Amino acid sequence: MPQTPTPKISPQKIARSHAETPAVTSPKAIRQAIRVARRNLSSVQQSIFANTAAIKALQKLKQLKADKVALYLTNDGELDTQVLIKTLWQQGIHVYLPRLHPFTAGNLIFLRYDEDTTVEKNSLGIWEPHLDITQMILPHQLDVVITPLVAFDDQGNRMGMGGGYYDRTLANWQTCGKPFPIGYAHDCQQVTKLACEHWDVPLPFIITPSKNYSFD
């Protein structure tokens, strides 16, 4: 299990960052404000939050008996996934990363990720695995997808960057029963209410450094 480094930050101080998130309402303003709030976290805070959230995620994945888990490589101040990924490798869990679909715009494919995987930046400036179809897995074959997000609200609604990639990926998860989606975010990314469209897929479970949110 990952060890939380010192100095320690109390859960109260972690949660306090939520209260400091600017009160804005338009999608553009929410994205801008929260991305700034994430980037303003210090390297010490990022490290501590990553370790704290990883412990919570490992507990949830154990409960779900997950063997094939999709994650993401951190970008733009997102909650860092490296400690979680490395621990999953140590536990023998198969880790996968999303890659922009090479033929169908707006969709993702998932490829196996290990220490020898070559990664490259895509057109959005996000790290993704080099295309190797021998390492591809279909979304319904994954046990869990841990999703990045820009914001989430008190009902489990998720706001991404606006491309709809994860909404398309997760559109049928409740029908198929897999993959179980888990949001992964800093506490400062929570807002009271997000405006939702009919294609938006709410999350049943969200992990932050200070708290687990279940929306079953």
Q: Is residue 59 part of a domain?
A: yes
Query: What predicted TM-score, i.e. pTM, was given to this entire model?
Result: 0.87
Q: How far is CA 123 from CA 32, 97, 126, 160, 197, in A?
A: 20, 16, 7, 17, 26
Helix, strand, or coil here: 151?
strand
Instruction: Name the phi and psi angles at 29, rounded to 5.
Output: -70, -40
pLDDT in the model for residue 106:
86
pLDDT in the model for residue 209:
97
One-letter amino acid identity for 95?
A: V
One-letter amino acid identity for 215?
A: F
One-letter amino acid identity for 149?
A: L
Q: Is residue 168 part of a domain?
A: yes
Instruction: Show the low-confidence residues of the chain (pLDDT under 70).
Output: 1-24
The residue with tokens 């309402």 is: 25
Q: Is residue 188 part of a domain?
A: yes
The two structure tokens encoding residue 39: 């980037």
Residue range of the domain that includes 19: 11-214
E strands along 72-156, which residues? 94-100, 108-112, 119-121, 127-129, 136-137, 144-147, 151-152
Q: Say which CATH number the domain at 147 has.
A: 3.40.50.10420
Strand partners, 183: 147, 206
pLDDT in the model for residue 24:
54
Q: Is residue 172 part of a domain?
A: yes
pLDDT in the model for residue 177:
83
Q: Is residue 6 part of a domain?
A: no
Q: How far is CA 138 from CA 59, 91, 170, in A?
A: 25, 22, 12
What total number of domains does the chain contain?
1
Q: Is residue 2 part of a domain?
A: no
pLDDT in the model for residue 41:
96
pLDDT in the model for residue 7:
44
pLDDT digits (tens, 9 = 90+) for 68-116: 999 999 999 999 999 999 999 999 999 999 999 999 888 999 999 999 9
